[in-house]
Amino acid sequence: MMPLYALPACPLVPCPLLPYGVGLSSPFMFGASRAVSAPEGPTVPGAIPAPIIYLALLFAGIAIGGLLFAVGNAWRIHVDDHRRAQRRQARERIALERHFNPYVSGEPVRQPEMFFGRHELIHRIINGLHQNSVMIHGERRIGKTSLLYQLVAQLREADDPEWVFVPASADLEGTPQERFFHLLMDAIWGSLRGYLIRTSPVLRFHAMAPSEYTDRDFIADLRLLIEPLKASVSPRRARVILLIDEIDVINSYSRQVQLQFRRVLMSNLAENLGAVVAGAAIDKAWDRPESPWYNLFVEFTLEPFSDEQARELLLEPVRGVYEWAREAVDYTVLQSQGRPHRLQGYAFTAVNHMLAAKRLRISLADVKAANGSIGR
């Protein structure tokens, strides 16, 4: 066979060893550096390259999408504003029809949503009740009874991983010393009955006359109640908290009764019994060698409201329903001097005056209408 380099160069002669149409002199042979390409089609003058067109379409789509989103968001805001306006108008209409007035005049505040200015103090008191008893004192009508009401509610709802608090409320006003321990057991029994549905302890409290019921009877009955209470809340621990209002009355009791009260809180039941007492003035003149009863208590003083607390009490209860004129708020805060009952009294009278005029804005004239009717 003739070697390849000896073959004649003939590009038109087909070779059975090569693809059809490729001659021995074709540039595909022997490492040729350039291949034959098809001629390019005609170029249109001014034509935009395809990548630029695709990019422009992408940006246009983004712009249109952003515009649609902005329009949709603006429409949603408009609809939400319209709905809020409708709800506000409905609230205002109902408020006028029903003479809505949330303020509390002359009574203790019982509703949590109307209680302002003392939440931090309540938190501190509850944190101290695991091992201590507490005394709250302050001037008359500064909010002590309202504070006790809120303590009862929060102790019942306390989510403590270790303790279950059982509040028991008692008011000493008008209570003679002969009925003191009977009154305390009455409060405790009323609070514990729901925990003791599987047992029926026989208490001296049920068999004795109130005036004959002593501190020893109280301790004996309390012991009968504490044991089943501890079993019912296990594995958590139980602590009954006596909340005693008008503790000033104890000033008129004999030193013996005062010391008996102290011994109850220092007995071996003290782990499961604590107290929060509230009064305007505790007599601390002591003429006995024993420690006075009030030394057992951690003391907290209720101060008048700050300017910020006073404004919160006025504005929050009617927010979204009525509007306070700025000068009306300033006047009420100044005249009330931080006393919660005066703030409530001014606001209560002002709202009634405003409603009588079929208005929804509390003016300075509405507030001044309360002058002369608000007690000191």
Model confidence pTM above 0.75: no
Does residue 73 form part of some domain? Answer: no
Neighbours of 309 (CB within 10 A): 17
Does residue 202 form part of some domain? Answer: yes
156 and 234: one domain?
Answer: yes
* Confidence grade of residue 42 (pLDDT, cut at 50, 70, 90): low
Predicted local confidence at residue 66, as pLDDT: 85
Predicted local confidence at residue 25, as pLDDT: 46
Predicted local confidence at residue 44, as pLDDT: 55
Which of 286, 301, 316 marks a domain boundary? 301
Task: Dump strand ranges (E) for 160-219.
Answer: 163-171
* Confidence grade of residue 95 (pLDDT, cut at 50, 70, 90): low
Using CA atoms, how far residue 362 sits from 56, 246, 349, in Å, is 60, 36, 10
207 and 346: one domain?
Answer: no
Mean per-residue pLDDT for 347-364? 95
Q: Is 243 exposed, middle or buried (0-12, 13-18, 19+ CB in 10 A)?
A: buried
Does residue 17 form part of some domain? Answer: no
Does residue 277 form part of some domain? Answer: yes
142 and 274: one domain?
Answer: yes
CATH code for position 161? 3.40.50
Three-state SS for 27?
A: coil
Mean per-residue pLDDT for 9-26? 47
Q: Which helix (H) or strand (E) holds 225?
A: helix 215-233
Q: Tell me the helix, strand and coil percentages in the chain, rounded to 5.
A: 50, 10, 40
Does residue 201 form part of some domain? Answer: yes
- 17: which 2 tokens? 């060893």
Question: Could you tell me which residue, 151 or 44, shows the higher pLDDT?
Answer: 151
The tally of domains found in the chain comes to 2
Average pLDDT, the chain: 86
Predicted local confidence at residue 58, as pLDDT: 86
In whole angstroms, give the CA distance from residue 172 to residue 334: 34
Return all residues near 323 (Cβ < 8 A) that are at least 6 apart: 360, 361, 362
Mean per-residue pLDDT for 38-58? 70
Q: Which helix (H) or strand (E) holds 265?
A: helix 255-266
Mean per-residue pLDDT for 14-38? 46
Predicted local confidence at residue 90, as pLDDT: 60
Tens digit of each residue's pLDDT (9 = 90 or more) over 79-90: 776 666 555 556
User: Is the pLDDT score of 43 beyond 70?
Assistant: no
- 198: which 2 tokens? 């599987």
Which of 255, 278, 301 marks a domain boundary? 301
167 and 221: one domain?
Answer: yes
Nearest Cα to 109, choosing from 137, 140, 135, 148?
148
Tens digit of each residue's pLDDT (9 = 90 or more) over 212-234: 999 999 999 999 999 999 999 99
Using CA atoms, how far residue 92 sits from 89, 200, 316, 363, in Å, is 5, 53, 16, 17
Does residue 225 form part of some domain? Answer: yes
Does residue 246 form part of some domain? Answer: yes
* Confidence grade of residue 91 (pLDDT, cut at 50, 70, 90): low
Does residue 56 form part of some domain? Answer: no
Which of 251, 268, 301 marks a domain boundary? 301
Question: CA angle 317-320-325, nearest 5°?
Answer: 80
Task: Identify the domain containing residue 362 by its residue range.
Answer: 99-107+306-368
User: Is the pLDDT score of 126 beyond 50?
Assistant: yes
283 and 358: one domain?
Answer: no
125 and 157: one domain?
Answer: yes
Least confident of 26-35, 84-93, 196-205: 26-35
Predicted local confidence at residue 297, as pLDDT: 96
In whole angstroms, give the CA distance from residue 29 to residue 282: 119
